[in-house]
Structure 1
Amino acid sequence: MDYLLQVKIGALIGLLLLTLLFGFIPAKVRWFRDTNGTETHRTVLSLISCFAGGVFLAACLLDIIPDYLSDITAELNSRKVETSFPLPEFIMAAGFFTVLILERIVLNCREMGVAQEERAPLMPDNRNGHGHGHGISPDLESSGHHVHVDFQAHSPFRSFMLFLSLSLHSVFEGLAIGLQNTDSKVRQKVFHLMLKVSF
């Protein structure tokens, strides 16, 4: 077997194991799953989430977007496509807003189903003369206003979209490793990916 192919296969297996290790730590460690922790526990989890969000934002701004812009610009130049319209940025923004609009539509449909349950009165109104008054003003009850408390701020749909995006990104990063033609480029790409995965 060719040495370059061995390096690529070893790199992909190593990246898979490293991703699984860091992916399963929050799922298996009870401290991360505790939702009724102390104020300090919630603060530490919030800081960890903020740090992870910063890593994802930095990966997007410093790695994914520059790679995308350089690659698509090279492809447009090779096809001799010349335009004053910022086509690469438009494609990127269209993809972002497509995902955002789809997420908003799904979340709104889900919230409309929950809103119907929240508008139902807490105690049924007995109109047969034997019931007791429940003290709820008819004006307030019929106004349709309700207080919505989101006990699950981390929606499963958002988690799924993040998981899907990271999975697709990993597939394309694996393809990028497979397309490298020297072992030094493979090692450089793998080191770069391992830094991103570990954070």
Structure 2
Amino acid sequence: MQSTSSSVPEMEIKLGSLLVLLATTLLCGFVPLWIIRGAGRRSVDSVTLYKTVNLASCFGGGVFLATCLLDLLPVYFASMNETFNNLGITLHFPLPEFILAMGLFIVLVMEQIILALQDQSGDSSEERQALLIDSGLQTHNKDSTRHSCQDSSLSQSKIELNRAKSSGRVGVQLADFTSHSAVRAFILVFSLSLHSAFEGLEVGLQQDTDHVLEICLALLLHKGILAFSLALKLAQNQLRRTVIVGCLMFFSVMCPLGIGLGLILTEIKATAQHQVARSTLEGLATGNFVYLTFMDILPHELNSPKNRILKVALLLTGFAVVTGILFLKL
């Protein structure tokens, strides 16, 4: 009877943490969308809004960088070491690093396949358009002036695009409209969500009530800042509002889902195979996140020529905030 009464507060704390984490993450994720929407209704200058979102995203870049270097990577390597120590296996091959590299290459290969398909479809469409223009010039001599105007306007648009590329503006303004940028955004959501599920699983498996409260407090701050930064990143990719909301809800649900799974698994002893599978998935997700952090998030925020010092300061601020939050987990 005494054990039952002592287990009730622990269950209530975990269920309460589940609900508070879900509400806080959703709220912090929707705040940037409400701000951007309100600015649009008040007819705020688009240039000012773009600069503000860009600067706020630099803070988010620091959050992602700290999450990558100080949270995901150490947790993954510690999990792999613990798994193989429990199995009594001594590794002579850098298997954790290899799994991490495979997660990185998954994103790289997916992006290059998508870009190759885009290049092929673009080349074929240009060839068809050129054939149509040539046939029109041969069969409709009377409309030669109109076709030459279309040809010149097409050439002019290509010249403007080349000028934009040479000036570096395409990387800031047009790159977010490509489909591989959307793929990067979805992989970013998936990798962060998978890590959140594992963090929630650790909370659900905890037996010490005081330790559960400490971990949940750190998770509240960390997930709130991550949700805010993730919403800004998704908004920059020019995704539909419904898609952004769906991604934020998916990310917000994963940590509470992990807590719920942890509550269920408290009565089930995890086998070595489960630990290996979990560590492998965590390594692949971490590799995905490493690639996105250093190949997409940081270059995107720092490539534009204006406000470089302010951007670096905001980047360091985001890094420092996550560093301080991680101290709460110690």
Fold shared per TM-score above 0.5: yes
- Give yes or no for contact 1:18–1:198 (8 Å, CA) kept in 2: yes
Give the 5 Å matches for 1:34-45: 37-45=45-53
Residue type matched to 1:15 in 2?
L
> How many Å separate the matches in 2 of 1:187 and 1:5?
12
Alignment of 1:15 with 2:21, yes or no, is: yes
What residue is the counterpart of 1:127 in the other structure? 138
> How many Å separate the matches in 1 of 2:111 and 2:211?
37
Alignment of 1:162 with 2:168, yes or no, is: no
From 205, 216, 223, give the equivalent of 1:190: 216
Inter-CA distance 116–48: structure 2 relative to 1 (3 Å threshold): farther
- The Cα of 1:67 is off from its aligned counterpart by 1.1
Alignment of 1:5 with 2:14, yes or no, is: no
Tell me the TM-score normalised to structure 2 length. Answer: 0.51
Q: How many residues align?
A: 191
Give the 5 Å matches for 1:19-168: 19-29=25-35, 30=37, 37-117=45-125, 120-121=129-130, 124=133, 125-128=136-139, 129-133=141-145, 134=148, 136=151, 147=162, 151=174, 153=176, 155-168=181-194
5+ residue gaps, structure 2, are 1-6, 156-160, 226-330
5+ residue gaps, structure 1, are 141-145
Once the two structures are superposed, residues 9-67 of structure 1 have per-residue CA deviations (whole angstroms, 9 ceiling, x without a partner) of 11111111111111122333315779x94433322211111211220121111011111
> How many Å separate the matches in 2 of 1:51 and 1:82?
41
> How many Å separate the matches in 2 of 1:103 and 1:61?
23
- The Cα of 1:115 is off from its aligned counterpart by 4.8
- Give yes or no for contact 1:27–1:33 (8 Å, CA) kept in 2: no
Residue type matched to 1:175 in 2?
L
> How many Å separate the matches in 2 of 1:183 and 1:14?
16
Inter-CA distance 195–78: structure 2 relative to 1 (3 Å threshold): same
- Aligned CA-pair RMSD: 3.0
Deviates more, 1:174-183 or 1:159-168: 159-168
Inter-CA distance 16–66: structure 2 relative to 1 (3 Å threshold): same
- Give yes or no for contact 2:24–2:224 (8 Å, CA) kept in 1: yes
- The Cα of 1:198 is off from its aligned counterpart by 2.2
- The Cα of 1:192 is off from its aligned counterpart by 1.8
What residue is the counterpart of 1:143 in the other structure? none
Tell me the TM-score normalised to structure 1 length. Answer: 0.80
- Give yes or no for contact 1:32–1:45 (8 Å, CA) kept in 2: no
> How many Å separate the matches in 1 of 2:15 and 2:192?
20
- The Cα of 1:152 is off from its aligned counterpart by 5.2
- Give yes or no for contact 1:72–1:88 (8 Å, CA) kept in 2: yes
- Whose helix proportion is higher, 1 or 2? 2
Once the two structures are superposed, residues 59-84 of structure 1 have per-residue CA deviations (whole angstroms, 9 ceiling, x without a partner) of 11101111111121011112121123
